Structures are given as structure tokens and as C-alpha cells.
Structure 1
């Protein structure tokens, strides 16, 4: 009888242990305050020490995964095979994801630091009142030129058609960028939905082909640093790296009009660690963390308190922090919709084929 009681007590103890362990695991899962935070971001787009500091402060382990385009990020999240707690899409993709119900509304009661953001970077057309996103970095599309390889600096899009730059321009590969240059050179919006304007812009681009040496992507940085061309068109963040690699390079934002882009933090609808995601947003909104990130990445910060903490030369550099007058002439890419975007892509592809 004693052996039977002892055996029964042992079984009961095991059951109690398993039951208790199950309760702890369930509590951790439900709380979202421990465990893992899965971040889906562009490659090399955060100071890795900030991720370590976030974990040290909160106890939340970070699984940092990367993508190389908004489209690949969208496809992965839309398919739903992998759960991400944080993603960092660009403005037009945020609009698309909101329309398709792929994002969770933010709980602003769980977010601190929104007041640090500049008024010009919030309440944008792609997310009024920032219901779904928080600005992370911003920048522009502009012109990089080598001051030792040009007689006259190109300051506006129309300057790219100069005979001086024949076979000497590197153009970033992108339909919105290419068509946008054509449209804005003609005085039209880079979000034009008028067929005649799009055709006119494409024709304008055809006339630029003698000056284009190559249409490239990330490799544009290496080419310009190695002085393979005199002029390039690319984004401000890419330009920052080019300027660091070659002191002869200069970046300018066309004052008559260009693209103003935003990369914002969002929470995908399938997120599991929602509390941790809000904690991460608040962590990145702290001025000292936004400052460290801006210094590490080299992109423009929307955090005005952090900007004020940058060295004077950086924060007053109008190539990366343009004047209010220039900002007024910049446009954000709108979500054009599938049909109109297809027309942009088709015309741009025809331009690339024409060039060959």
C-alpha cells in the first residue's frame, strides 16, 4: 500500500510540474513582454548596438531579418508564412498595405516620443494622423556629381540633358524614379495620372539616352566612388555613402521638384509580440537613440530633437536637410493603383529597351 501511495504521489507531482510549466509558458505568450521580437527591415538599416541595448533593457530577444525591396517585403507579409512584429516599408507601400488590411492600427497610448517628430514628417497623405506608422528615416532623390569631372554643376533635372554629360550619367533603376524625372522636368507631378503627360515624359526620357552610361541599382555607389561617371541620380542615403567614399562628390536636391521619401515603422496584422513592438517604437523615438541611428546610417532623421543634437555641419547641410522652400517643392510617391502603376512600368521598360 505504501509503495502504491508513493507511486501515485510521484505521478501527481509530475502532473503538477507540467501544469505549472504550461501556465508559465502561456502567461509569457499572452503577455508579449518577454520572448522574441521579429523585425523585418532593409539591410544594414539600424545600428546593431541599439538592438542589443533594447534587449538588455526589456529582456526581449530580437530576430532581425532583412529585405531588399518594398515589393519583396510586401509579398512575404501578404503570404503570411512568416510572422513579423515590426516592418519598415516606404510611403507608397504603407498606403497599399493599409488598403489591403495588412497592418494593425497603432495604440498610441503605448507609444512615447511622438512629440519629438517634426510636424513636416507626420500626418502625411499615405497615413493621415499616423494611425498605422511612425517615421523612421526620410530623404530625397537627387543628383550626385563629381566636381572634378564637370565644367558646370547639374543642379536641376533639366541639366541632365546637357551635351557635356554625354555617356556620363548613372541612373538609378526604378520606374517611379525614371518617369518622375521626366514628369517633373516638364513641370508635371511625379504622380500624374494623365496619359498624355506620361507619354510626353517617356519621350523626354528617350532624349536623355545618349547621356546615360548605365542604369543600375546598388552598384551605383561603387561606380561613383571609383569615378566611373561624372553624374548619377540616386537617393540621399546612397549619396551619403558615396560622399564618404570620395571627397570630390557633391549631392544636390533639385529645388524645382523631386521625390521626398519616407520609411516608417509599422506593425503587421499577424504580429505576435504587439506589446514588444510598441516598446520598440518608443525606444527608437528617444532622441539619444534616434541620434545614434542617424549617425550610424547617415540618413536624415525625422526626430527634430535628435537632429538638434547632430553636429552643426551635418544638421545645416541642405543636401540632406533641405530648406523649407525646397521641401515645399518635393512630392511623396502616391499609391497609383495596379493599373496606373502598370502603365508607368510599361513606359519605363520601353525606355530601357529603347536605350539598348
Structure 2
């Protein structure tokens, strides 16, 4: 994995120089007449449907991209959001069948493939796959991109207000050491995501973020419970917004969300750091459920997002890393030159992808339930 991460860094460097369990919204029948399409980015107009249902993470696409796609392709996008991979999986397993495009993370892709939930992609409908950075075309969770297309990538670390911390909190100790955490009583936040929170506690304790060892997981649980009295909230939707608002002064979260809100706030006291122990590196991916009512239109939408210009527009809005090599020249310098977004090699070597836990998932579920209930 370390070799994979270092290769990712080198290639990027060279190129740069939720929800309820109710069913998804009902959609129209496939094969609708859509002769009004004029853009060459919209595929075969005769095969497009008039609606497309997308299920994505919160605040994870420039709204103008949706508007542009609707205008260019005469397709109405029905957009819904979720807060964690587990919420996404639970909703689909509960019977939601109307979604055309979903955006699971790497480890969840592997789970959904095993559960036979995803449609194989028609590569002929995705010519913009050629825009991808070569390191992303054969990922360990979906070799050969049979079911998924990389959307954005990033890291999980610490957002902070240096007026409160006094220095850059470059270790998980600032969150998981009770003496440190007590300084931020009621002003500390954690993600509402069991893989991220337990994983970070495992990393702090010196273990792998993908451990399924019961002793190690129990140790991580005790680490979290020891600082839980000081935690203001478990939040995966607005963690960066509450940092900017001053409701918290330190927290765990995803790189792009922090950068997006910090840059917009123009508050020089706010920052984001990847802890020295390491953390999560992840890739979110565009996929099509087997139950998708509009698979061709879904592939046209995915190919649209793989366009170089659209890919740059996306990253310039989200502040997450782009897997799109053709987009890199158009990405703002403040984004591609920021080490928190495109980390240096030594930092990349300490990051881990979250992997499928297999039967260990039940143990993780129990540990998380015990953490949240105490």
C-alpha cells in the first residue's frame, strides 16, 4: 500500500508542475425523447432520459455543474445526499431502487461488489476515462474500474483554530489524549462515522486503521470513551461550518470540506493538518446501482464529470484532490500547491486506505454502538 501511495504522489506531482430508508424518488421511464440536446458532451441524444437521480455526499459538487448538465443535456437531475457510507448502504438495502448514480468510498465499493449491487460500466460510453491519472485506473478495491470511476480523493485529519490551540495540532494526541481534549471541553467535534472515528483512535494507539483484532478495538473504544465527555458533537455534515462559526475550535474531518469553508471564511486563524501518525486517504467513486432506471443517462453524467474542464471546476469548488490528470492544469494554484490537499511524499507514506473488514464488520458495529450509547 505504501508503494501505491508514493506512486500516487509522484504522478500527481508531475502532472501538477444522512438519510432515511425510504425509497428514492420515482423516476420517469427510460428511453424518453430528448431531441433538444445540443452539447457534444451529452452522448447520444436519442438514448437520454429526461430525469437522472443522483445520491451523493453533502456539499460535494458545484451546483453550477448540475445546472450546466441540465441545460446542455436537457436532463433534470434529482439530487439527494447522505452522510456516511453505512447510511448509503443501509438505504439501498432497505429497498431504495430509484437512484441512477451513487458515490461510495473505496472500501464500500468492494462491499457492494461482493453484494452484487453494482452495474458493470459500459466503457464505450465513457471516453473521458482516458483523462484519468494512470494511478487511478487499477485501484485495489475495483481492479480495472469494472464498476466504478474515481470522483475525488482526499484525506482525513484535524481542523483547528490556532487561537485556541496555540500551535498547529499535528498529532491525534490533540483529540484523543484526555488532558489535551479537556482544554477544548464542549468545543471538540468528531465525525459521525464509525470507520473514521474508530480508525483514528486505532492510529493514535499505534494500530492499523483496518484492524479487526478485538483487543485493539477495545483499546480504541476506551480511547474514545475517555474523551467523549469533551466532544460537542459527532457530525459528518457541518463539521467544517461549525469550526468557522466558532462553535468548535478543533475537530476531525475531511480535507476538502475544511479547506472550502476555511478559504471562504478568510479567517487566517483556521487550518487543517494531517496528523504525524498518519490518517485516512480515500477515493470516492461514481457508480451505478444494478437497479438504476436510467443507466445510459447515468454513464453520460459520469462521462460529463470526467471532462477536463468540468473536473477542474469540481476540484476548484470542493477543494478535494482530482483523479483527473487532464484537469490539473486548470486547477487553481492555491489548491494544487497546498500540501494539505496534495500531501508531500513523506506524509502520503503514512496514510491508509480503509478496506473491507469482512466478518470484522460485526465487531466494529458493536464497538461503535457501545461508544455512541455510553
Interval of TM-score (by shorter of Structure 1 and Structure 2): 0.7 to 0.9
In 2, the alpha carbon distance for the partners of 1:332 and 1:69 equals: 16
More helix as a share of residues: 1
TM-score by length of 1: 0.82
Q: CA RMSD, aligned part only?
A: 2.7
Larger Rg belongs to: 1
State yes or no: 1:254 paired with 2:275: yes
Residue correspondence of structure 1 range 39-54 to structure 2 within 5 A: 39-54=54-69
What are the superposed Cα offsets for residues 37-70 of structure 1, whole Å, 9 maximum, x if unpaired?
2222234322233233323433433333333433
- The match for 1:66 is 81
Q: Of the candidates 215, 227, 238, which is equivalent to residue 257 of structure 2?
A: 238
- Residue 180 of structure 1 and its aligned partner are, at CA, apart by 1.0
Residue correspondence of structure 1 range 96-115 to structure 2 within 5 A: 96-115=111-130
Q: Of the candidates 290, 301, 311, which is equivalent to residue 311 of structure 2?
A: 290
State yes or no: 1:307 paired with 2:328: yes
- The match for 2:368 is 348
- SS of aligned partner of 1:155: coil
TM-score by length of 2: 0.78
- Which sits farther off after the overlay, 301-310 or 199-208? 199-208
- SS of aligned partner of 2:335: helix
State yes or no: 1:269 paired with 2:285: no
- The match for 1:216 is 234
CA contact under 8 A between 2:62 and 2:314: conserved in structure 1?
yes
- SS of aligned partner of 1:179: helix
In 1, the alpha carbon distance for the partners of 2:318 and 2:336 equals: 14
CA contact under 8 A between 1:136 and 1:263: conserved in structure 2?
yes
- The structure-2 alpha-carbon separation of the partners of 1:179 and 1:64, relative to structure 1 and needing over 3 Å to count, comes to closer
Q: How many residues of Structure 1 are paired with residues of Structure 2 in the alignment?
A: 328
Unpaired segments ≥5 residues, structure 1: 1-24
In 1, the alpha carbon distance for the partners of 2:238 and 2:72 equals: 38
State yes or no: 1:123 paired with 2:143: no
CA contact under 8 A between 1:242 and 1:249: conserved in structure 2?
no
In 1, the alpha carbon distance for the partners of 2:182 and 2:327 equals: 42
State yes or no: 1:37 paired with 2:56: no
Unpaired segments ≥5 residues, structure 2: 1-29, 35-43
In 2, the alpha carbon distance for the partners of 1:63 and 1:228 equals: 32
